[in-house]
Amino acid sequence: MQITRRMLFAAVALLPALPALGHHGWRWTADGKIELTGVITDAQLGNPHGVLTVDAEGEIWRVEVGQPWRNARVGLEDSMLAPGVEIVAIGPRSADPSENLLKAERVVIAGQNYDLYPDRL
């Protein structure tokens, strides 16, 4: 089979996306769930999903929340995920214990539950 310039270009163009493809879903998470309470210090919201930086008693965590449509569907607005807001995030953590990363299946703000993945709770 002859490799054309177009095929080579397409393969090279897809290389940056490979790490992201392996990360999405739950394959990178450990079994079980943890509850993390802390204060949001930074929020990067958007696609493919939002990522919050959370200070949990001096330990810095990254917390993945849903895609914009998923957050909106459960009533979770971007303004609610602003720096300074106290949050409880419940979900599985990274399977790599050296990585402070949690995939939030439920977010609790001001006592209100926002179930991003109700089928997983």
Token pair, residue 82, equals 């602003």
Distance from C-alpha of 72 to C-alpha of 9, rounded to nearest angstrom: 37
Distance from C-alpha of 85 to C-alpha of 76, rounded to nearest angstrom: 13
Higher-pLDDT residue of 13 and 68 is: 68
Q: Which of 10-14, 88-92, 96-100, 108-112 has the lowest mean pLDDT?
A: 10-14
Q: What is the pLDDT of residue 21?
A: 42
Checking if the pLDDT of 20 tops 50, the result is: no
| HSE-CB for 88 with a 13 A CA cutoff | 13
Distance from C-alpha of 53 to C-alpha of 85, rounded to nearest angstrom: 11
* Cα-trace Rg, the chain: 17
Long-range contacts of 45-50 (CB under 8 A, 24+ apart): 45/71, 45/78, 45/81, 48/20, 48/24, 49/24, 50/81
Higher-pLDDT residue of 5 and 29 is: 29
Domains of the chain: 28-120 (2.40.50.140)
Q: Indicate the burial class of 6 (C-beta count within 10 angstroms; 0-12, 13-18, 19 or more).
A: exposed
